[in-house]
């Protein structure tokens, strides 16, 4: 079935991978984020894959912008069948060393704007007699880690909001709310984050690809589920956090510094918390080997070995 799907956060990472995935399935796409040029690129990628797609540059934290986005979907495609919300920003730093306005904008973007999206989507679904909302949480909505207080607070809040909406949706047949909770994913979010810690962040291993999360999101649109976890260690981390909180708290700081931060120094900066950086936007963040480069490297090495063997043959 062809659906009209709004994707908020479509210019980078998981949102962009989701747009590509849904374009391949023939869905009609309404693509939104702040960077107009990157958004046009994503729209063109989706059209090249055979999908009908429009780009609507907007900021999810701006009053009225989310309603205007839903109106654009109605004008272009007659309504909204599903909404995938992936827009978010991140900030690294001790809570007491992070500027209050940065902390607040992270919470505004990652939690309050998600609530605005949910409000608008649910209103449209109710009028249309159904629809599916996919929110993107994180394993950090179930556990905590130091130096990411705004992000963690927002993701815990989103967890509570999603569960509440799911309970209320029992009264509105046809309306589904899914929460997809990734662990570490190879996206640009780590380098785009604000930073007051002095070292650039990185996704701690094991790292999933954004395409894998995108497939989980697309699957939720086909068969809505309450919560989907993507990440091999998510269950282990939740178990440790819940059952052994003392041990967890002793280990999480050193592990975060070891596996969650690079050695690359960085001066304090706001990242993309207030303004986008189109130069840093892509599907992948470069933390996993690029499959195309691996194939080329393996192919090149195989060709070299084959020609060396041929030279030695009589
Ligand atoms: N990457 C991970 O390891 C990971 C792990 C767990 C959960 N997640 C969650 O997955 C979701 C996607 O993250 P990602 O890693 O794909 O991040 P990403 O690559 O940085 O993409 C974030 C997207 O959000 C958009 N955005 C940010 N602020 C916005 C605003 N105010 N208005 C509209 N759009 C805005 C960005 O575009 P513009 O800057 O152009 O606006 C971009 O398209 C987030 O909810 C994140 O918390 C990610």
Residue ranges covered by each domain of the chain: 4-283
* pLDDT mean over 6-25: 98
Ligand 1 near 9 CB (within 6 A) = yes
- Quick one: the chain helix, strand, coil %, rounded to 5? 50, 20, 30
Q: Which of 163, 148, 72, 145 minimizes the C-alpha distance to 110?
A: 148
- Enumerate the β-bridge partners of residue 53: 29
Can you give the pLDDT at residue 304? 65
3-state secondary structure of 32: strand
- pLDDT at position 168, please? 98
pLDDT of the residue at 300: 62
Mutation test of ligand 1: which of 42, 140, 189 has the most ligand atoms closer than 8 Å to its C-beta? 189
CATH number of this structure's domain 4-283: 3.40.50.720
pLDDT of 309 over the 80 cut? no
Contacts of 125 (CB under 8 A, 6+ apart): 80, 131, 132, 133, 172, 174, 175
Instruction: Report the DSSP beta bridge partners of residue 227.
Output: 179
Whole-prediction pTM: 0.94
Which atom, in ligand 1's list, is nearest to the CA of 35?
Answer: 40
CA of 257 to the centre of ligand 1 (A): 23
Q: Is 57 in the pocket of ligand 1 (CB under 6 A)?
A: no
Binding site membership of 159 for ligand 1 (Cβ less than 6 Å)? no
Check if 150 has its Cβ closer than 6 Å to any atom of ligand 1: no
| Residue 151 among the catalytic residues | yes
Best residue for ligand 1 mutational test, from 10, 64, 87 (most atoms within 8 Å of Cβ) = 87
Tokens at 272, concatenated = 């993309």
């Amino acid at each position: 079935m062809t659906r009209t799907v709004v994707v908020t956060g479509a210019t980078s990472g998981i949102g962009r991978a989701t747009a590509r995935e849904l374009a391949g399935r023939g869905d009609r796409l309404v693509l939104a984020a702040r960077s107009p040029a990157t958004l046009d690129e994503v729209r063109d990628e989706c059209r090249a894959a055979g999908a009908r797609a429009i780009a609507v540059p907007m900021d999810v934290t701006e009053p009225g912008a989310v309603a205007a986005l839903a109106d654009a979907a109605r004008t272009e495609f007659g309504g909204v069948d599903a909404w995938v919300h992936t827009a978010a920003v991140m900030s690294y730093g001790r809570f007491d060393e992070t500027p209050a306005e940065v902390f607040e904008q992270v919470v505004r973007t990652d939690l309050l704007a998600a609530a605005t999206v949910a409000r608008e989507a649910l209103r449209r679904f109710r009028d249309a007699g159904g629809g599916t909302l996919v929110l993107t949480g994180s394993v950090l909505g179930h556990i905590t880690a130091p130096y990411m207080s705004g992000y963690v607070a927002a993701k815990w809040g989103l967890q509570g909001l999603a569960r509440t909406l799911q309970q209320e949706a029992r009264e509105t047949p046809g309306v589904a709310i899914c929460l997809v909770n990734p662990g570490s994913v190879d996206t640009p979010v780590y380098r785009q984050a604000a930073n007051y810690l002095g070292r650039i962040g990185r996704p701690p291993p094991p790292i999933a690809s954004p395409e894998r999360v995108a497939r989980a999101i697309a699957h939720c649109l086909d068969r809505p589920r309450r919560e989907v976890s993507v990440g091999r260690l998510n269950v282990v981390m939740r178990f440790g956090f819940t059952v052994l909180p003392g041990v967890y708290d002793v280990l999480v700081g050193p592990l975060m510094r070891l596996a969650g931060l690079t050695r690359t120094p960085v001066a304090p900066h706001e990242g993309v918390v207030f303004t986008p950086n189109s130069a840093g936007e892509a599907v992948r963040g470069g933390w996993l080997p690029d499959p195309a480069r691996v194939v080329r490297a393996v192919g090149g090495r195989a060709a070299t070995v084959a020609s060396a063997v041929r030279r030695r043959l009589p």
